[in-house]
Amino acid sequence: MNRYQTLTVDGYEEVVRCDNREAGFAAWIAIHNTNRGPALGGCRVWNYGSDEEAFFDVLRLSRGMTYKNSLAHLPLGGGKCVVRVDLGRVDRAHLFESVGEFVDTLGGRYITAEDVNSTVEDMAHVQRSTAHVATVGASGNPSPFTAYGVYCAIKAGILYTRGRKNLSGLRVAIQGVGETGGRLARLLASAGCNVVAADLSQERLDRLRSQVDAQVIGPADVHRCRCDIFSPCAMGGTLNHKTIPELRCALVAGSANNQLLNPSDGHLLDRLGIVYIPDYAANAGGVINISCEIDGEYDGERARIRTARIGETVTEILHRSVATRLPTSVVADAMAEELFKLEKVA
Ligand code: NAD
């Protein structure tokens, strides 16, 4: 049986903890802001080392979703669910049905979706207990949209900084060629880019090289590669005080979440004259696609058109950054805040 406890956290609309001893999990839902609409954010499942760690994660991630959803102009707020569980020791169907009950207690103010360690199949179990779940079918895998959004961000970045409409002949170093990075590599190769790829998985590199002509580089060296564009598409924190001075690129844009280890890293990139396209602006294609499922009847073409608007957002960020002499990371945060703090979207 789920037991609930409401927690008061400054700056958050609602934070609730759920414990279910029989099902073997603890979970937290944080609703950061709903000024633009119900809070959308995935359900992250992780065997956290402590409750504090899980709690910290749900606060950080739900806030990030407010910024991402707002900057993408979606009529959605930011929220997240994290589940602390050892997946090897629980009945998965029961777990996700119980998570669905938890989501349902928020009456639609929070909409869940898949995330790290939770799948579309798991969301079908969540759906047995609540209607407030996206990605149960029609919109499918978000990765193609995420990759396409990053591609649009890169095109806008190159147009703004170099006045070039095409990417032909540009060298792009991609860190991680999985679901999103692999697709991005294919899009860029089709546009005439020279792709340099790094991954920890030889299988993923082999697959990519069977599809496009890509040069392979070691994971430790990819950020040092001389190139036009460096694209972090693996894990977060890869832009930090150690790696940034080693970059030999003009532009950074990728799918990875939380690319900057610290906010000061956005300032460092700016000081070094490297144009950084903020991660949550570039990688919003997946959530834009999901929002098209929430909207009513899903239409893949509409999702693609909306994803392409990431290019306009990137142009606006770059324009404001030049005009105000502020780093793009600071500008993007301010733009998102304008969009979610002003007024409720009707
Ligand atoms: P994925 O697991 O399919 O691919 C990541 C790849 O990075 C894997 O092939 C992995 O082997 C590789 N990798 C890990 N560490 C590496 C390293 N140090 N150097 C080089 N390669 C490394 O994941 P994904 O779905 O492509 O997501 C990638 C990033 O994009 C994540 O940060 C994710 O949170 C973010 N993101 C994904 C989506 C989406 O739609 N999938 C949406 C928004 C953000």
- 283 Cβ below 6 A of ligand 1: yes
CA 22 to chain centre: 33
Q: Which of 235, 238, 287, 289 to mutate to test the pocket of ligand 1 (most atoms within 8 A of CB)?
A: 235
| Sequence-ordered strand ranges (E) for 47-114 | 77-84, 110-111
User: Which residue among the candidates 80, 242, 341, 344 is catalytic per the annotation?
Assistant: 80
How far is Cα 274 from Cα 161, in angstroms, rounded to an integer?
Answer: 11
For ligand 1, the distance from its centroid to the CA atom of residue 19, given in whole angstroms, is 30
Flag whether the pTM goes above 0.85: yes
Residue 344 known to be catalytic: no
User: Contact, 187 vs 208, CB < 8 A?
Assistant: no
Confidence of residue 346 (pLDDT cuts 50, 70, 90): low
pLDDT digits (tens, 9 = 90+) for 308-345: 999 999 999 999 999 999 999 999 999 999 999 865 55
How far is Cα 327 from Cα 331, in angstroms, rounded to an integer?
Answer: 6
Domains of the chain from N-terminus onward: 3-68+76-126 (3.40.50.10860), 143-284+310-339 (3.40.50.720)
Q: Percentage of the chain surpassing pLDDT 70?
A: 98
User: Contact, 266 vs 330, CB < 8 A?
Assistant: yes
In this prediction, residue 144 carries a pLDDT of 94
How many residues does this entry show for the chain? 346
Beta bridge partners of 175: 198, 232
Closest CA to ligand 1's atom 35: 256
Position 312: which residue type?
A: E
**124: how many CB neighbours lie within 10 A of its CB?**
16
Confidence of residue 296 (pLDDT cuts 50, 70, 90): confident
Q: Which of 65, 257, 261, 280 to mutate to test the pocket of ligand 1 (most atoms within 8 A of CB)?
A: 257
In this prediction, residue 295 carries a pLDDT of 72
How far is Cα 189 from Cα 127, in angstroms, rounded to an integer?
Answer: 39
Closest CA to ligand 1's atom 33: 256
In this prediction, residue 278 carries a pLDDT of 97
Position 219: which residue type?
A: P
For ligand 1, the distance from its centroid to the CA atom of residue 345, given in whole angstroms, is 33
For ligand 1, the distance from its centroid to the CA atom of residue 239, given in whole angstroms, is 15
Q: Which of 118, 223, 225, 255 to mutate to test the pocket of ligand 1 (most atoms within 8 A of CB)?
A: 255
- 144 Cβ below 6 A of ligand 1: no
Per-residue burial over 15-32, b = 16 or more CB atoms within 10 Å of its CB, e = otherwise = bbbbebeebbbbbbbbbb
For ligand 1, the distance from its centroid to the CA atom of residue 176, given in whole angstroms, is 6
- Three-state SS at 338: helix
In the sheet with 275-276, reading across from the earlier edge strand, the strands are: 214-216, 194-198, 171-175, 229-232, 251-252, 275-276
pLDDT digits (tens, 9 = 90+) for 107-123: 999 999 988 889 888 99
- 116 Cβ below 6 A of ligand 1: no
For ligand 1, the distance from its centroid to the CA atom of residue 208, given in whole angstroms, is 14
- Above 70 in pLDDT, residue 7? yes
DSSP state of 157: H
- 115 Cβ below 6 A of ligand 1: no
How far is Cα 41 from Cα 30, in angstroms, rounded to an integer?
Answer: 10
> Which of 108, 102, 26, 30 is CA-nearest to residue 63?
30
For ligand 1, the distance from its centroid to the CA atom of residue 321, given in whole angstroms, is 28
Q: Mean of the pLDDT values across residues 222-243?
A: 96
- 258 Cβ below 6 A of ligand 1: no
- Above 90 in pLDDT, residue 24? yes
Q: Work out whether the CA dihedral 188, 120, 40, 96 comes out positive or negative.
A: negative
Confidence of residue 132 (pLDDT cuts 50, 70, 90): very high
